[in-house]
Structure 1
Protein backbone atom coordinates (compact mmCIF):
# COMPACT_ATOMS: atom_id res chain seq x y z
CA UNK A 1 0.00 0.00 0.00
CA UNK A 2 2.81 2.21 0.89
CA UNK A 3 4.66 1.35 -2.20
CA UNK A 4 1.64 1.99 -4.28
CA UNK A 5 1.23 5.36 -2.77
CA UNK A 6 4.86 6.18 -3.31
CA UNK A 7 4.54 5.01 -6.88
CA UNK A 8 1.70 7.29 -7.72
CA UNK A 9 2.91 10.24 -5.54
CA UNK A 10 0.98 13.44 -5.17
CA UNK A 11 -1.45 14.38 -7.83
CA UNK A 12 -0.02 16.76 -10.38
CA UNK A 13 -1.09 20.38 -10.09
CA UNK A 14 -3.39 21.43 -12.88
CA UNK A 15 -2.06 24.51 -14.67
CA UNK A 16 -5.61 25.83 -15.11
CA UNK A 17 -6.48 25.44 -11.45
CA UNK A 18 -8.56 28.33 -10.10
CA UNK A 19 -9.38 28.75 -6.44
CA UNK A 20 -12.25 30.90 -7.35
CA UNK A 21 -13.76 28.24 -9.53
CA UNK A 22 -13.30 25.56 -6.90
CA UNK A 23 -14.68 27.81 -4.19
CA UNK A 24 -17.77 28.40 -6.19
CA UNK A 25 -18.82 24.81 -5.47
CA UNK A 26 -18.96 25.57 -1.79
CA UNK A 27 -21.19 28.67 -2.05
CA UNK A 28 -24.49 28.11 -0.39
CA UNK A 29 -27.32 28.35 -2.85
CA UNK A 30 -30.43 30.12 -1.73
CA UNK A 31 -33.22 27.89 -0.71
CA UNK A 32 -36.58 27.75 -2.14
CA UNK A 33 -37.95 29.92 0.64
CA UNK A 34 -35.33 32.64 0.15
CA UNK A 35 -36.02 35.38 -2.41
CA UNK A 36 -33.08 36.72 -4.31
CA UNK A 37 -33.53 40.44 -4.98
CA UNK A 38 -31.92 41.53 -8.14
CA UNK A 39 -29.90 44.77 -7.71
CA UNK A 40 -31.12 46.10 -11.00
CA UNK A 41 -34.70 45.80 -9.77
CA UNK A 42 -33.89 47.86 -6.66
CA UNK A 43 -32.34 50.54 -8.76
CA UNK A 44 -35.31 50.59 -11.09
CA UNK A 45 -37.69 50.97 -8.15
CA UNK A 46 -36.37 54.54 -7.53
CA UNK A 47 -36.69 56.60 -10.69
CA UNK A 48 -33.91 59.12 -11.31
CA UNK A 49 -34.46 62.85 -11.20
CA UNK A 50 -33.96 65.15 -14.20
CA UNK A 51 -30.60 64.97 -15.85
CA UNK A 52 -28.34 68.04 -15.47
CA UNK A 53 -25.28 67.50 -17.59
CA UNK A 54 -23.85 64.14 -16.58
CA UNK A 55 -25.13 64.06 -12.96
CA UNK A 56 -28.01 61.83 -11.93
CA UNK A 57 -29.74 62.24 -8.57
CA UNK A 58 -31.58 59.27 -7.07
CA UNK A 59 -33.75 58.59 -4.13
CA UNK A 60 -36.40 60.41 -2.08
CA UNK A 61 -33.92 62.99 -0.80
CA UNK A 62 -34.57 65.24 -3.78
CA UNK A 63 -38.07 66.67 -3.58
CA UNK A 64 -40.14 67.74 -6.50
CA UNK A 65 -39.69 71.42 -5.52
CA UNK A 66 -35.91 71.17 -5.57
CA UNK A 67 -36.00 69.20 -8.81
CA UNK A 68 -38.20 71.92 -10.35
CA UNK A 69 -35.91 74.65 -9.04
CA UNK A 70 -32.80 72.99 -10.42
CA UNK A 71 -34.45 72.55 -13.77
CA UNK A 72 -35.75 76.13 -14.01
CA UNK A 73 -33.63 78.31 -16.25
CA UNK A 74 -32.55 81.76 -14.97
CA UNK A 75 -34.58 84.68 -16.25
CA UNK A 76 -32.99 86.43 -19.17
CA UNK A 77 -31.73 89.94 -18.47
CA UNK A 78 -33.71 92.69 -20.21
CA UNK A 79 -32.03 93.92 -23.35
CA UNK A 80 -30.20 97.25 -22.99
CA UNK A 81 -32.01 100.33 -24.14
CA UNK A 82 -31.15 101.31 -27.69
CA UNK A 83 -28.40 103.91 -28.03
CA UNK A 84 -30.68 106.28 -29.88
CA UNK A 85 -33.28 106.20 -27.10
CA UNK A 86 -30.65 106.99 -24.46
CA UNK A 87 -29.36 109.91 -26.50
CA UNK A 88 -32.89 111.24 -26.96
CA UNK A 89 -33.52 111.05 -23.22
CA UNK A 90 -30.46 113.17 -22.39
CA UNK A 91 -30.79 115.58 -25.31
CA UNK A 92 -33.48 117.81 -23.74
CA UNK A 93 -31.61 118.62 -20.47
CA UNK A 94 -28.43 119.30 -22.42
CA UNK A 95 -30.32 121.60 -24.80
CA UNK A 96 -31.87 123.55 -21.90
CA UNK A 97 -28.49 124.04 -20.23
CA UNK A 98 -26.96 125.12 -23.54
CA UNK A 99 -29.72 127.71 -24.11
CA UNK A 100 -29.29 129.16 -20.61
CA UNK A 101 -25.53 129.43 -21.04
CA UNK A 102 -25.96 131.02 -24.46
CA UNK A 103 -28.39 133.59 -23.03
CA UNK A 104 -26.01 134.48 -20.20
CA UNK A 105 -23.10 134.75 -22.61
CA UNK A 106 -25.11 136.96 -24.93
CA UNK A 107 -26.12 139.23 -22.05
CA UNK A 108 -22.53 139.55 -20.84
CA UNK A 109 -20.59 139.45 -24.08
CA UNK A 110 -22.77 139.49 -27.15
CA UNK A 111 -25.26 142.27 -26.48
CA UNK A 112 -24.31 145.30 -28.63
CA UNK A 113 -23.90 148.88 -27.49
CA UNK A 114 -27.24 150.66 -27.23
CA UNK A 115 -28.09 154.28 -26.42
CA UNK A 116 -30.73 155.14 -23.87
CA UNK A 117 -31.73 158.61 -22.74
CA UNK A 118 -30.04 161.78 -24.07
CA UNK A 119 -30.11 165.15 -22.33
CA UNK A 120 -28.72 168.22 -24.14
CA UNK A 121 -28.19 171.49 -22.31
CA UNK A 122 -26.68 174.89 -23.21
CA UNK A 123 -24.82 177.18 -20.84
CA UNK A 124 -25.67 180.00 -20.73
CA UNK A 125 -29.14 180.02 -22.17
CA UNK A 126 -28.87 183.76 -23.08
CA UNK A 127 -25.71 185.07 -24.77
CA UNK A 128 -24.48 188.65 -24.99
CA UNK A 129 -22.22 190.23 -27.56
CA UNK A 130 -19.43 188.02 -28.81
CA UNK A 131 -20.44 185.26 -26.48
CA UNK A 132 -19.78 181.49 -26.70
CA UNK A 133 -22.34 178.83 -25.77
CA UNK A 134 -21.11 175.58 -24.22
CA UNK A 135 -23.45 172.76 -25.20
CA UNK A 136 -23.20 169.42 -23.42
CA UNK A 137 -25.07 166.22 -24.28
CA UNK A 138 -25.27 163.53 -21.59
CA UNK A 139 -25.77 160.16 -23.31
CA UNK A 140 -26.62 157.03 -21.31
CA UNK A 141 -25.89 153.53 -22.65
CA UNK A 142 -26.27 149.91 -21.59
CA UNK A 143 -22.63 149.68 -20.56
CA UNK A 144 -21.51 147.55 -23.48
CA UNK A 145 -18.20 148.41 -25.15
CA UNK A 146 -18.25 150.03 -28.57
CA UNK A 147 -17.95 153.30 -30.45
CA UNK A 148 -20.55 156.03 -30.58
CA UNK A 149 -20.69 157.85 -33.91
CA UNK A 150 -22.48 161.17 -33.89
CA UNK A 151 -22.62 164.68 -35.36
CA UNK A 152 -23.84 168.12 -34.34
CA UNK A 153 -26.29 170.05 -36.50
CA UNK A 154 -26.72 173.82 -35.92
CA UNK A 155 -29.62 176.05 -36.89
CA UNK A 156 -27.36 178.42 -38.86
CA UNK A 157 -26.97 175.66 -41.49
CA UNK A 158 -23.61 174.24 -40.44
CA UNK A 159 -22.99 170.60 -39.65
CA UNK A 160 -20.00 169.00 -38.00
CA UNK A 161 -18.28 166.00 -39.46
CA UNK A 162 -18.81 162.49 -38.07
CA UNK A 163 -17.34 162.34 -34.58
CA UNK A 164 -16.65 159.27 -32.45
CA UNK A 165 -16.63 158.46 -28.74
CA UNK A 166 -15.10 155.16 -27.59
CA UNK A 167 -17.08 153.43 -24.84
CA UNK A 168 -15.39 150.84 -22.62
CA UNK A 169 -17.07 147.93 -20.87
CA UNK A 170 -19.14 149.10 -17.94
CA UNK A 171 -19.18 152.77 -19.02
CA UNK A 172 -22.81 153.83 -19.04
CA UNK A 173 -22.47 157.58 -19.59
CA UNK A 174 -20.77 159.78 -22.15
CA UNK A 175 -20.53 163.58 -22.26
CA UNK A 176 -20.37 165.10 -25.74
CA UNK A 177 -19.42 168.78 -26.07
CA UNK A 178 -20.07 171.53 -28.62
CA UNK A 179 -18.83 175.14 -28.50
CA UNK A 180 -20.76 177.72 -30.53
CA UNK A 181 -19.44 181.31 -30.72
CA UNK A 182 -21.36 184.41 -31.89
CA UNK A 183 -19.94 187.76 -32.95
CA UNK A 184 -21.39 191.15 -33.97
CA UNK A 185 -24.64 192.88 -33.28
CA UNK A 186 -27.93 191.09 -33.72
CA UNK A 187 -30.48 188.80 -32.15
CA UNK A 188 -30.81 185.11 -32.83
CA UNK A 189 -32.52 182.07 -31.39
CA UNK A 190 -30.13 179.18 -31.86
CA UNK A 191 -30.88 175.44 -32.01
CA UNK A 192 -28.21 172.79 -31.49
CA UNK A 193 -29.13 169.20 -32.29
CA UNK A 194 -27.19 165.98 -31.52
CA UNK A 195 -27.67 163.02 -33.88
CA UNK A 196 -26.45 159.57 -32.84
CA UNK A 197 -25.47 157.65 -35.97
CA UNK A 198 -24.24 154.31 -34.55
CA UNK A 199 -25.96 151.79 -32.27
CA UNK A 200 -29.62 152.77 -32.19
CA UNK A 201 -30.04 156.16 -33.85
CA UNK A 202 -31.31 158.86 -31.56
CA UNK A 203 -31.59 162.68 -31.66
CA UNK A 204 -31.82 165.36 -29.01
CA UNK A 205 -31.60 169.18 -29.12
CA UNK A 206 -31.49 172.34 -27.05
CA UNK A 207 -32.22 176.07 -27.65
CA UNK A 208 -30.65 179.29 -26.43
CA UNK A 209 -30.68 183.01 -27.45
CA UNK A 210 -28.10 185.53 -28.64
CA UNK A 211 -28.72 189.26 -28.28
CA UNK A 212 -26.26 192.06 -29.05
CA UNK A 213 -27.57 195.66 -29.62
Structure 2
Protein backbone atom coordinates (compact mmCIF):
# COMPACT_ATOMS: atom_id res chain seq x y z
CA UNK A 1 0.00 0.00 0.00
CA UNK A 2 1.14 3.52 -0.64
CA UNK A 3 1.23 6.29 1.88
CA UNK A 4 -0.81 8.56 -0.33
CA UNK A 5 -3.03 10.68 1.94
CA UNK A 6 -5.50 11.22 -0.84
CA UNK A 7 -6.47 7.54 -1.07
CA UNK A 8 -10.10 6.88 -0.03
CA UNK A 9 -12.02 3.62 -0.14
CA UNK A 10 -15.34 5.37 -0.65
CA UNK A 11 -14.29 7.18 -3.79
CA UNK A 12 -12.77 3.95 -5.11
CA UNK A 13 -9.58 5.49 -6.27
CA UNK A 14 -11.04 7.95 -8.74
CA UNK A 15 -7.80 9.98 -8.60
CA UNK A 16 -5.93 7.01 -10.01
CA UNK A 17 -7.87 7.32 -13.24
CA UNK A 18 -8.43 11.01 -13.79
CA UNK A 19 -6.44 12.82 -11.14
CA UNK A 20 -7.48 14.15 -7.77
CA UNK A 21 -11.20 14.69 -7.21
CA UNK A 22 -10.84 18.42 -6.61
CA UNK A 23 -9.19 18.93 -9.97
CA UNK A 24 -12.27 17.84 -11.95
CA UNK A 25 -15.41 20.01 -12.04
CA UNK A 26 -18.67 18.26 -11.21
CA UNK A 27 -20.96 18.27 -14.22
CA UNK A 28 -24.62 17.30 -13.79
CA UNK A 29 -26.01 15.16 -16.60
CA UNK A 30 -28.91 16.53 -18.62
CA UNK A 31 -31.00 13.36 -18.04
CA UNK A 32 -31.10 10.39 -15.65
CA UNK A 33 -31.94 6.83 -16.74
CA UNK A 34 -32.35 4.06 -14.20
CA UNK A 35 -31.55 4.29 -10.55
CA UNK A 36 -28.41 5.10 -8.63
CA UNK A 37 -26.70 2.07 -7.17
CA UNK A 38 -24.68 2.47 -4.00
CA UNK A 39 -22.49 -0.13 -2.42
CA UNK A 40 -19.79 -0.36 0.15
CA UNK A 41 -19.59 1.15 3.60
CA UNK A 42 -19.48 4.90 3.76
CA UNK A 43 -20.51 5.61 0.17
CA UNK A 44 -22.71 8.65 0.22
CA UNK A 45 -25.13 9.86 -2.38
CA UNK A 46 -22.97 12.91 -3.02
CA UNK A 47 -19.93 10.76 -3.72
CA UNK A 48 -21.78 8.57 -6.21
CA UNK A 49 -24.26 11.00 -7.76
CA UNK A 50 -23.79 14.70 -7.04
CA UNK A 51 -27.05 15.50 -8.86
CA UNK A 52 -30.60 14.92 -7.64
CA UNK A 53 -32.37 11.77 -8.82
CA UNK A 54 -35.97 12.52 -9.72
CA UNK A 55 -38.33 9.55 -10.21
CA UNK A 56 -40.09 9.61 -13.54
CA UNK A 57 -43.93 9.58 -13.44
CA UNK A 58 -45.66 6.49 -14.82
CA UNK A 59 -47.51 7.28 -18.06
CA UNK A 60 -51.31 7.21 -17.79
CA UNK A 61 -51.68 4.35 -20.29
CA UNK A 62 -49.58 2.06 -18.06
CA UNK A 63 -51.65 2.74 -14.94
CA UNK A 64 -54.55 0.31 -14.56
CA UNK A 65 -53.24 -1.81 -17.41
CA UNK A 66 -53.47 -4.89 -15.23
CA UNK A 67 -57.23 -4.56 -14.95
CA UNK A 68 -57.69 -4.13 -18.67
CA UNK A 69 -55.47 -7.11 -19.30
CA UNK A 70 -57.88 -9.41 -17.46
CA UNK A 71 -61.13 -7.78 -18.61
CA UNK A 72 -61.73 -10.22 -21.47
CA UNK A 73 -61.00 -13.26 -19.30
CA UNK A 74 -63.33 -11.87 -16.61
CA UNK A 75 -66.11 -11.29 -19.14
CA UNK A 76 -65.77 -14.83 -20.51
CA UNK A 77 -65.80 -16.29 -16.98
CA UNK A 78 -68.90 -14.26 -16.07
CA UNK A 79 -70.64 -15.45 -19.24
CA UNK A 80 -69.87 -19.11 -18.54
CA UNK A 81 -71.04 -18.82 -14.92
CA UNK A 82 -74.23 -17.07 -16.05
CA UNK A 83 -74.96 -19.83 -18.56
CA UNK A 84 -74.39 -22.57 -15.98
CA UNK A 85 -76.66 -20.80 -13.48
CA UNK A 86 -79.34 -20.45 -16.15
CA UNK A 87 -79.01 -24.17 -16.92
CA UNK A 88 -79.35 -25.10 -13.25
CA UNK A 89 -81.80 -22.50 -11.95
CA UNK A 90 -83.37 -21.13 -15.13
CA UNK A 91 -86.75 -22.01 -16.55
CA UNK A 92 -87.75 -25.59 -15.82
CA UNK A 93 -89.58 -28.19 -17.82
CA UNK A 94 -92.83 -27.20 -19.53
CA UNK A 95 -95.57 -29.78 -20.10
CA UNK A 96 -97.12 -29.62 -23.56
CA UNK A 97 -99.56 -32.55 -23.52
CA UNK A 98 -100.78 -35.40 -21.29
CA UNK A 99 -102.58 -38.52 -22.55
CA UNK A 100 -103.50 -41.78 -20.79
CA UNK A 101 -104.03 -45.06 -22.71
CA UNK A 102 -104.46 -48.77 -22.11
CA UNK A 103 -105.73 -51.82 -23.97
CA UNK A 104 -109.45 -51.06 -24.54
CA UNK A 105 -110.33 -54.75 -24.30
CA UNK A 106 -109.19 -54.72 -20.68
CA UNK A 107 -107.42 -57.48 -18.80
CA UNK A 108 -108.49 -61.11 -18.87
CA UNK A 109 -109.68 -63.00 -15.79
CA UNK A 110 -107.22 -62.39 -12.96
CA UNK A 111 -105.16 -60.20 -15.28
CA UNK A 112 -103.35 -56.88 -14.94
CA UNK A 113 -104.09 -53.74 -16.91
CA UNK A 114 -101.04 -51.67 -17.92
CA UNK A 115 -102.20 -48.05 -17.93
CA UNK A 116 -99.67 -45.72 -19.54
CA UNK A 117 -99.60 -41.93 -19.27
CA UNK A 118 -97.60 -40.15 -21.95
CA UNK A 119 -96.40 -36.70 -20.81
CA UNK A 120 -94.89 -34.61 -23.62
CA UNK A 121 -92.52 -31.79 -22.64
CA UNK A 122 -90.30 -29.13 -24.22
CA UNK A 123 -87.11 -31.13 -23.57
CA UNK A 124 -85.77 -29.11 -20.65
CA UNK A 125 -84.58 -31.01 -17.59
CA UNK A 126 -86.77 -31.10 -14.53
CA UNK A 127 -89.05 -33.15 -12.31
CA UNK A 128 -92.63 -34.23 -12.83
CA UNK A 129 -94.70 -34.82 -9.71
CA UNK A 130 -97.91 -36.86 -10.12
CA UNK A 131 -100.31 -39.37 -8.58
CA UNK A 132 -102.65 -42.04 -9.90
CA UNK A 133 -106.33 -42.09 -8.90
CA UNK A 134 -108.35 -45.26 -9.56
CA UNK A 135 -112.14 -45.51 -9.78
CA UNK A 136 -112.15 -48.06 -6.92
CA UNK A 137 -111.13 -45.23 -4.55
CA UNK A 138 -107.40 -45.99 -4.43
CA UNK A 139 -104.95 -43.07 -4.66
CA UNK A 140 -101.22 -43.46 -5.01
CA UNK A 141 -98.80 -41.43 -2.99
CA UNK A 142 -96.99 -38.49 -4.60
CA UNK A 143 -94.62 -39.92 -7.23
CA UNK A 144 -91.84 -38.19 -9.19
CA UNK A 145 -90.14 -38.69 -12.53
CA UNK A 146 -86.79 -37.05 -13.38
CA UNK A 147 -86.45 -35.74 -16.94
CA UNK A 148 -83.05 -35.40 -18.58
CA UNK A 149 -82.14 -32.61 -20.99
CA UNK A 150 -83.54 -33.39 -24.42
CA UNK A 151 -86.09 -35.91 -23.13
CA UNK A 152 -89.37 -34.80 -24.69
CA UNK A 153 -91.61 -37.58 -23.41
CA UNK A 154 -92.08 -39.39 -20.11
CA UNK A 155 -94.06 -42.63 -19.95
CA UNK A 156 -95.64 -43.25 -16.54
CA UNK A 157 -97.08 -46.72 -15.83
CA UNK A 158 -99.87 -47.89 -13.52
CA UNK A 159 -100.27 -51.66 -13.14
CA UNK A 160 -103.82 -52.49 -11.97
CA UNK A 161 -104.56 -56.15 -11.18
CA UNK A 162 -108.12 -57.53 -11.22
CA UNK A 163 -109.38 -60.74 -9.56
CA UNK A 164 -112.70 -62.48 -9.43
CA UNK A 165 -115.68 -62.99 -11.69
CA UNK A 166 -118.02 -60.42 -13.13
CA UNK A 167 -117.68 -57.30 -15.18
CA UNK A 168 -116.54 -53.89 -14.16
CA UNK A 169 -115.92 -50.55 -15.91
CA UNK A 170 -112.74 -49.04 -14.50
CA UNK A 171 -111.19 -45.59 -14.81
CA UNK A 172 -107.57 -44.64 -14.18
CA UNK A 173 -106.78 -40.96 -13.83
CA UNK A 174 -103.35 -39.32 -13.85
CA UNK A 175 -103.17 -36.14 -11.79
CA UNK A 176 -100.08 -34.13 -12.71
CA UNK A 177 -99.07 -31.94 -9.77
CA UNK A 178 -95.86 -30.21 -10.93
CA UNK A 179 -94.68 -28.24 -12.85
CA UNK A 180 -98.30 -27.50 -13.83
CA UNK A 181 -101.58 -29.08 -12.76
CA UNK A 182 -103.19 -31.28 -15.42
CA UNK A 183 -105.31 -34.40 -15.47
CA UNK A 184 -106.00 -37.11 -18.02
CA UNK A 185 -107.99 -40.33 -17.70
CA UNK A 186 -108.88 -43.52 -19.53
CA UNK A 187 -111.79 -45.99 -19.10
CA UNK A 188 -111.66 -49.70 -19.85
CA UNK A 189 -113.74 -52.78 -19.11
CA UNK A 190 -112.88 -55.80 -17.04
CA UNK A 191 -114.94 -58.89 -17.67
CA UNK A 192 -114.58 -62.40 -16.32
CA UNK A 193 -117.42 -64.94 -16.76
CA UNK A 194 -117.27 -68.63 -15.78
TM-score (norm 1): 0.48
Alignment of 1:23-34 (within 5 A): none
Structure with greater helix share of residues? 1
Q: For 1:170 and 1:192, how far apart are their aligned partners in 2?
A: 28
Q: For 1:162 and 1:111, how far apart are their aligned partners in 2?
A: 23
Q: For 1:129 and 1:194, how far apart are their aligned partners in 2?
A: 25
Structure 2 SS opposite 1:134: strand
Alignment RMSD: 1.9
Q: Summarize deviations over 1:90-140 as a string: whole Å, max 9, x none.
A: xxxxxxxxxxx9xxx6xx742221111111111253333112101111110
Question: Highest CA radius of gyration, 1 or 2?
Answer: 1
Query: Which contiguous aligned blocks of 4+ residues in structure 1 show a shift greater than 3 angstroms?
Result: none
2:137 maps to 157
Q: For 1:112 and 1:125, how far apart are their aligned partners in 2?
A: 38
- The answer on whether the counterparts of 1:152 and 1:195 sit within 8 Å (CA) in structure 2 is yes
Q: Summarize deviations over 1:16-69 as a string: whole Å, max 9, x none.
A: xxxxxxxxxxxxxxxxxxxxxxxxxxxxxxxxxxxxxxxxxxxxxxxxxxxxxx
**Structure 1: where are the runs of 5+ without partners?**
1-100
TM-score (norm 2): 0.52
Structure 2 SS opposite 1:127: coil
Across the two proteins, how many residue pairs are aligned to each other? 109
1:119 maps to 99
